Amino acid sequence: MNSMLFQRYSERPARSNRGAVLITALLLLAMITALGLFSATRASMEQRISTNIRDNANIFFAAEGGIHHGLQVLKNLFAADTTNKVNIAMGQPPVWSFLLNGATLPAASNYYCQGCDTGAGTVTSGAWLTSGTQVVSRTFTQGNLDISYTVTAWNNDESSNTTAPCTGVTSATTDCDSIIYVRSEAYAYVAGTTDALAYAVQEVTVNGNAGNSIGLISGLSQEFANEGKTSTAVDVNEIDAGSLAGGATI
């Protein structure tokens, strides 16, 4: 009798141990599954971040390429203009009047500047007019993205300049100081769609120069959408409402 009681009593812990091992195994399996899910989610997130960085870099350089493309086009047009040839021959400064078709100054418009949200404010000095001359536009494919850039040009506000030959000049279509503003806007789309994934804008102040050869001097102020400023060797002054209201300087 005692032997049977002892035997029954000794068998109960064995059954309890088997249950504890099963529970422990299930807990370990749950922990491993959670770690695996976390690792997979983290890897997917890192991949998306890398893709976003790549797309933003592509669109930034597309906008920069648009600036260089536009400047080359403008250089050729500037040198070929008949009025500029006459001005240079007579010792007068060459101008951009052949290019411009902006609205009458002053005109309210959105502006882009370092440290400012896109379209955060308006200026009435005619710095960025609501219309302008399209210099060049291109679309190309990079991987699974369709990337496009459009380069446009505007006249700066010369109405406050009382020095000849700018005395009395208030028209956005008449240039008298050889200075214009050029903006390159670039967009990235998933191939075959129209929803923009990324956007970047770069802006330059361009001064036509006539010396031994026709050249353009650009003071670059650029903003990468949502990423702040990137400086370059030719970055002179930021383009903002304050600096533009009194006329651009290079």
pLDDT over 80 (residue 139): yes
- pLDDT value of position 3: 54
SS3 content of the chain, % helix, strand, coil (to 5): 35, 25, 35
Of 151, 149, 191, whose CA–CA distance to 62 is shortest? 149
pLDDT over 60 (residue 235): no
pLDDT over 80 (residue 17): no
- pLDDT value of position 231: 38
What value does the mean pLDDT take over residues 125-130? 40
Which stretch of DSSP H or E encloses residue 11?
helix 2-80
pLDDT grade for 170, boundaries at 50, 70 and 90: low
- pLDDT value of position 74: 84
Tokens encoding 243: 């600096």
Residue type present at position 120? A
pTM for this model (two decimals)? 0.60
